[in-house]
């Protein structure tokens, strides 16, 4: 990795790279420059120095920095040896989106304390949200969906959501608005679903395509057995199996396409 | 340079209705929450420091990319046309952020018995796979340092012409006595090497950087 230059063979420094590439694609005056908080004192200070000495005017208007993720032992860094990557998260049985959800629960300028217990809490929170969205999907009707756009309660939630994000990107508060929406039994399912879909354009949690958590071990066999009973016209047995599934937290719904199932809401 | 942005089609939605949200962001420059006003109405030019691709990103790094993804999504929801640029540092990031020690890419290549190019492309791929798994949207423009060396050389030449850089033994040093017009951390710029010679740098050169930096630091008023 070396190049000819007027000063001999060599390679560029890290700070100059960002100065040059940012300006190449964004021009000599940039709105926002982001990075980790550890870049403030050296990397970004040098970027500013070099770029402003080059242009002779202010280079970036807004600098925004994300705080550290901290372990109980302190800041996570590769050099400290305390180094978890996404494959470590997967190896512990978590989905990357559980980690995304955990990040949404802290403001970007606050330390986020990481532990496996905290990640497990995020997993349960996100799955609970998925279950509620799946339940809403099953009850929402298309007609109600058209009404949702003008629902005043829905508009109030949208306003709260915007206000939270407009206040220095307060995602944890915006997330609490989402929770209020899914729990608001007075708002009809389609209206709630429309809000979930709109809010998730920011959260990026895949809520609309939410899939249920894994079924309890014997539930799929019972769902199939129940389908068989229905086809045979054995309604008593089908009802009995529906009740047994419900005891295990599995709700079933018979549709033209076959049996749909979801896990009941949990708090 | 500016015209490239005006012509880019990468910037998602049309600008023009971004006034309702009244966005307020904390600005490290001013250390306060300020009403966000873009340079050009309806448009946001955003640059985010990308990964140094010598290893997988740790989840602390990924937190920063999730934050930036949320910022971009909010700006777009608010109606701004955002041009989001992120770099890939595939050369030049030394062991110390203050431009001392060896290139992290070269050290990784020695560690893994692969070429620095294999290291860089391999970990870049892993990085974007991680981002995809986290629902982090790919920036509109991803720029690799190694593909912009010509522009970097031209930039450094201009710094020399502006009297902000000097050369010793094939290394170009940024003159830390030069005052930038704004300042991120109220700290003076530390010693930086815009260009580093490939041949082994003499020990005297390295000492020179340190003494240069500390001399200038001590001569400044610092609270």
pLDDT of residue A265: 53
3-state SS class at A78: coil
Instruction: Establish how many alpha carbons lie within 13 A of residue B199's alpha carbon, considering only the half-sphere containing its beta carbon.
Output: 10
Mean pLDDT of B10-33: 73
A/B interface, count of CB pairs below 8 Å: 344
> Which residues 78-97 of chain B have a CB within 8 Å of chain A?
78, 83, 85, 87, 89-94, 97
Instruction: Establish how many alpha carbons lie within 13 A of residue B101's alpha carbon, considering only the half-sphere containing its beta carbon.
Output: 12
Other beta carbons within 10 Å of A183: 12
Residue appearing with tokens 């009850």 = A139
Give the separation between CA B48 and CA B137, rounded to whole angstroms: 13
Distance of residue B75 Cα from the nearest chain A Cα, in angstroms: 9
Start-to-end C-alpha separation, chain B: 38
Tens-place pLDDT, residues B72-105: 999 999 999 999 999 999 987 887 777 777 888 8
List strands edge to edge, sheet with A30-36: A60-66, A30-36, B43-48, B81-88, B141-144
Give the separation between CA A156 and CA A171, rounded to whole angstroms: 17
pLDDT of residue A226: 93
Which position has the higher pLDDT, B136 or A249? B136
Q: Is B107 on the interface with A (CB under 8 A)?
A: no
Answer for the pair B12, B78: CB distance below 8 angstroms, yes or no: no
Chain B residues whose CB is inside 8 A of the A86 CB are 56-57, 59, 62, 130, 133-134
pLDDT of residue A267: 42
According to DSSP, the residues that pair with A62 across neighbouring strands are: A32
pTM of the model: 0.81
pLDDT of residue B205: 30
B150 falls in which pLDDT band (50, 70, 90)? very high
pLDDT of residue A89: 94
Q: Is B174 on the interface with A (CB under 8 A)?
A: yes
Pull the structure tokens for residue B13: 């939605």
Residue of A nearest to B32 (CA): A168
Element (DSSP H or E) covering residue B95: strand B94-96
Answer for the pair B44, B12: CB distance below 8 angstroms, yes or no: no
Give the separation between CA A76 and CA A85, rounded to whole angstroms: 11
Across chain B, mean pLDDT equals 78
Closest residue by Cα to residue A201 from B69, B16, B138:
B69
pLDDT of residue A21: 96
pLDDT of residue A147: 56
pLDDT of residue B110: 87
Name the packing angle between helices A14-26 and A45-55 (round to 10°).
50
Which residues of chain A, if any, have pLDDT below 70? Answer: 72-82, 141-150, 212, 257, 264-267
Give the separation between CA B60 and CA B70, rounded to whole angstroms: 16
Residue of B nearest to A96 (CA): B134
Give the separation between CA B99 and CA B95, rounded to whole angstroms: 7
Mean pLDDT of B168-179: 82
pLDDT of residue B181: 56
Q: DSSP class of residue B222?
A: -
pLDDT of residue B203: 36
Pull the structure tokens for residue B148: 């912009």
3-state SS class at B91: coil
Give the separation between CA A157 and CA A154, rounded to whole angstroms: 5
Other beta carbons within 10 Å of B12: 16
Give the separation between CA B47 and CA B56, rounded to whole angstroms: 21
Q: Which residues of A236-261 are buried (b: 16+ CB within 10 A; e: fewer)?
A: eebeebbeebeeebbbbeeeeeeeeb
pLDDT of residue B198: 78
Give the separation between CA A49 and CA A70, rounded to whole angstroms: 30
pLDDT of residue A75: 57
Give the separation between CA B43 and CA A24, rounded to whole angstroms: 17
Tens-place pLDDT, residues B112-127: 989 889 989 999 999 9
Q: Is B10 on the interface with A (CB under 8 A)?
A: no
Chain A residues whose CB is inside 8 A of the B133 CB are 86, 96-97
Which position has the higher pLDDT, B147 or A147? B147
Q: Is A208 on the interface with B (CB under 8 A)?
A: no
Tens-place pLDDT, residues B201-221: 433 332 223 222 322 322 332
Number of H helices and number of E strands within chain A?
Answer: 11, 8
> Which residues 125-164 of chain B have a CB within 8 Å of chain A?
130, 133-137, 141, 143, 145-146, 148-149, 151-153, 155-159, 162, 164
- The phi and psi torsions of A201 (rounded to 5 degrees) equal -65, -25
Tens-place pLDDT, residues B32-52: 999 999 999 999 999 999 999
pLDDT of residue A262: 72
pLDDT of residue B17: 52
Give the separation between CA A101 and CA A51, rounded to whole angstroms: 36
Beta strands, E only, B14-78: 24-27, 32-35, 43-48
pLDDT of B169 > 60? The answer is yes
Instruction: Describe chain B by its helix, strand, coil percentages, rounded to 5.
Output: 40, 20, 40
Q: Is A173 on the interface with B (CB under 8 A)?
A: no
The ipTM value here is: 0.82
């Amino acid at each position: 990795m070396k190049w000819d230059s007027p000063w001999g063979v060599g390679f560029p420094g890290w700070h100059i790279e960002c100065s040059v590439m940012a300006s190449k694609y964004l021009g000599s005056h940039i709105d926002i420059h982001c990075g980790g908080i550890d870049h403030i004192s050296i990397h970004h200070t040098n970027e500013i120095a070099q770029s402003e000495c080059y242009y002779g005017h202010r280079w970036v208007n807004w600098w925004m920095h994300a705080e550290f993720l901290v372990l109980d032992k302190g800041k996570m860094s590769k050099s400290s040896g305390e180094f978890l990557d996404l494959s470590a998260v997967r190896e512990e049985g978590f989905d990357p989106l559980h980690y995304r959800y955990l990040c949404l629960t802290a403001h970007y300028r606050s330390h986020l304390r990481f532990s496996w217990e905290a990640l497990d809490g995020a997993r349960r929170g996100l799955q609970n949200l998925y279950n509620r969205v799946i339940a809403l999907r099953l009850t929402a009707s298309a007609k109600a969906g058209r009404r949702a756009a003008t629902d005043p309660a829905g508009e109030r939630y949208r306003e709260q959501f915007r206000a939270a994000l407009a206040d220095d990107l307060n995602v944890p508060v915006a997330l609490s608005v989402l929770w209020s929406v899914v729990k608001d039994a007075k708002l009809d399912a389609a209206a709630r679903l429309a809000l979930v879909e709109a809010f998730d354009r920011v959260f990026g949690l895949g809520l609309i395509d939410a899939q249920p958590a894994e079924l309890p071990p014997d539930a799929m066999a019972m769902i199939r057995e129940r389908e068989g009973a229905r086809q045979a016209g054995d309604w008593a047995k089908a009802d009995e199996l529906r009740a047994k599934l419900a005891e295990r937290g599995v709700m079933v719904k018979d549709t033209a396409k076959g049996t749909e199932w979801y896990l009941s809401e949990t708090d | 340079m500016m015209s490239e942005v005006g012509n880019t089609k990468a910037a998602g939605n049309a600008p023009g209705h971004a006034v309702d949200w009244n966005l307020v962001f904390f600005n490290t420059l001013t250390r306060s929450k300020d009403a966000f006003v873009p340079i050009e109405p309806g448009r946001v030019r955003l640059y985010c420091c990308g990964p140094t691709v010598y290893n997988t990103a740790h989840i602390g790094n990924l937190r920063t990319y999730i934050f930036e993804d949320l910022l971009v999504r909010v700006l777009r929801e608010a109606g701004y046309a955002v041009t989001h640029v992120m770099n890939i540092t595939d050369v030049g990031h030394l062991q110390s952020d203050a431009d001392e020690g060896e290139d992290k890419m070269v050290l990784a290549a020695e560690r893994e018995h692969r070429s620095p190019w294999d290291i860089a492309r391999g970990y870049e791929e892993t990085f974007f796979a991680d981002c995809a798994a986290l629902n982090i949207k790919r920036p509109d423009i991803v720029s690799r340092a190694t593909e912009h060396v010509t522009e970097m050389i031209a930039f450094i030449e201009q710094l020399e012409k502006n009297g902000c850089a000097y050369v010793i033994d094939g290394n170009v040093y940024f003159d830390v006595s030069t005052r930038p017009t704004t300042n991120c951390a109220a700290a003076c710029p530390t010693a930086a090497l815009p260009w580093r010679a490939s041949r082994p740098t003499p020990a005297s050169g390295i000492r020179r950087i340190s003494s240069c930096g500390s001399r200038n630091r001590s001569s400044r008023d610092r609270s």
